Amino acid sequence: MPAAVAAVARLRREAGRTSLADPASWGLDDAEELTRVREKRLIEKQLEQEGQAADPSFFSSAARRRREQADEQEEIAVHIAVTLWALHQQSLRDEPMHRPGWPLGRAVRRLAHGMTGVHDPSTPPENSAAGDRDAAPANQAVEEASETIRKRFVRIGTASHIDLLAVRLREMVLLLRGARIPLDYGLLADQLLRWQDQTRRADVCRAWGREFHAVYRSRTADMDKVGTVSPSAEDHVEADAGD
């Protein structure tokens, strides 16, 4: 247990920074796990191509550079998500702050309405359906959200560089931690990966906006089940081939 606590503390100190930029971050668990996932993928691909002619792109320097860039972007996305989770989880040992079904926009809107946790205090959990009790009250219109929080959220959406985005996300996570509002860090990592692609960045920002404006009153219990204490690298680096 002491080793695990120390590992999380090291991750927490890297929150808001990009992957491997600081030598102090070398050897962190998120990078090691990502390496294992990549090696597994490589072995699977080699087995699929066994006996076939080599892919011509393997000999192309441009294609190799694209692969290296994709790997780097993947590292950055995983690193930011995992270190933000470690910061978010600090001193909150009774409840995991990685919670599937709680995208960034949803969490920020709840924060902007002055709510805490995931349960509506006006509706006791034992007397309501899981989907209803885990949402902000229906009578709280988006226009009633805190302007200060909304502006912070807008600053996240207007970040022009991944380093700046990481810093602004860190600021928001600190506020979410204070309110004990969780985040879906697996989804966030996927969004951070897509955000680094200029052709897909606008899609990510639109998704954040939709999440903020959505009404969460009909969620199923499965969507809001508490996830594991820390999101796995397998979740973070799920393939995007179909996008």
Report CA Rg, the chain: 19
Question: At the topology level of CATH, where does 1-243 sit?
Answer: Peroxidase; domain 1 (1.10.520)
pTM: 0.68
Contacts of 227 (CB under 8 A, 6+ apart): 96, 98, 99, 100, 186
Is the pLDDT assigned to residue 229 strictly greater than 50?
no
DSSP conformation class of 219 = -
DSSP conformation class of 139 = T
The ranges assigned to domains in the chain are: 1-243
Are 211 and 184 in contact by the 8 Å Cβ rule? The answer is no
Q: Which of 46-55, 104-113, 166-175 has the lowest mean pLDDT?
A: 46-55
- Half-sphere exposure in the Cβ direction for 209 (13 Å, CA): 10
pLDDT digits (tens, 9 = 90+) for 115-150: 999 887 655 544 444 444 444 444 577 778 899 999
